[in-house]
Amino acid sequence: MKLTFLGTGTSFGIPVIGCDCRACTSPDPRDKRTRCGAVVETTGGRLLVDTPTELRLQLLATGIKSVDAIWFTHAHADHLHGIDDVRAFSVKRGELVGYVAAEHRPLLEAHFRYIFDEAIQPPPGSSKPRLRLFPIESGKPVDVIGESFLPIRVPHGDVQVYGFRVGGLGYIVDAKLLPEEAIVALRGVDVLVLNALWFGKPHASHLNIEEAIEASRAVGAKRTYLTHLTHRVTHRELEERLPIGVYPAFDGLVVEVD
């Protein structure tokens, strides 16, 4: 199994517009972070995790030319508003399946009515993304690209976000904490992906780096990759300060999962 990080930044992205901090002006390409998304590849196909704002640019940068399904963690703009770029896939292969929790489906259908309302059809010579939504529930495995994916619900302020475990990979973004049932579901993974904003001050709806490290230890992951990072930390600083077994992800990073 292979995991490709498409984007590893927060909703602002890095560089942040109008900012001249050390991260936003860094010459290190690993400090250039687009909005958070990923691709999971197995022998059965490729799963796109979210449709972040820069999706087209991310896919071009990583050389990913096709996906077979989409997992929507939640309906916040930075994880969703690249959805029109799915046209490039549905034009070639037809309808894709999108996996989404029932509570988020109305938001997708309302925000992108032109996609999901069959009464709205593009004019001749044009196109729209073709997506059929399939419901997921926390704790109930679902077959995706030939593998069993276990949806895992985590709190994100007043919103619930749906990550997953598939084999030795656990993928969680936009969590404020890992509930006990999430820790149990993730326990013993080879690779754990967790969101982490910065060192120090807690955030109301996101893990900070110290909280993410603590969550990783509770899970017992062999390797943990931090994503959804802000411009308050540089990649080099993270490499110097993170404990053994915890690593900063960066845009384009490819990780093999046992």
Predicted TM-score of the model (pTM)? 0.96
What is the β-pairing status of strands 69-71 and 246-248? unpaired
Distance, in Å, from the CA atom of 47 to the CA atom of 26, rounded to the nearest integer, reads 32
Phi, psi of 255 (to 5 degrees): -125, 130
Q: How many domains does the chain have?
A: 1
Asked, for residue 136, whether it belongs to a domain, the answer is yes
Asked, for residue 256, whether it belongs to a domain, the answer is no
Structure tokens at 178: 């890992």
Residues 67-124 have pLDDT tens digits of 999 999 999 999 999 999 999 999 988 899 999 999 999 999 999 999 999 999 999 9
Asked, for residue 33, whether it belongs to a domain, the answer is yes
Distance, in Å, from the CA atom of 137 to the CA atom of 44, rounded to the nearest integer, reads 22
| CATH code of 110's domain | 3.60.15.10
Asked, for residue 123, whether it belongs to a domain, the answer is yes
Distance, in Å, from the CA atom of 38 to the CA atom of 193, rounded to the nearest integer, reads 10
- Domain of 78 in residue numbering reads as 2-249
DSSP string, 188-230: T-SEEEEE---SSS--SSS--HHHHHHHHHHHT-SEEEEESB-
Quote the mean pLDDT of the chain: 97
Asked, for residue 255, whether it belongs to a domain, the answer is no
Distance, in Å, from the CA atom of 10 to the CA atom of 8, rounded to the nearest integer, reads 7
Asked, for residue 258, whether it belongs to a domain, the answer is no
Residues 19-65 have pLDDT tens digits of 999 999 999 999 999 999 999 999 999 999 999 999 999 999 999 99
Find all residues with CB under 8 Å of 106, minimum gap 6, and list them.
Answer: none
Residues 198-248 have pLDDT tens digits of 999 999 999 999 999 999 999 999 999 999 999 999 999 999 999 999 999
Asked, for residue 157, whether it belongs to a domain, the answer is yes
Helix (H) or strand (E) holding 80: helix 77-80
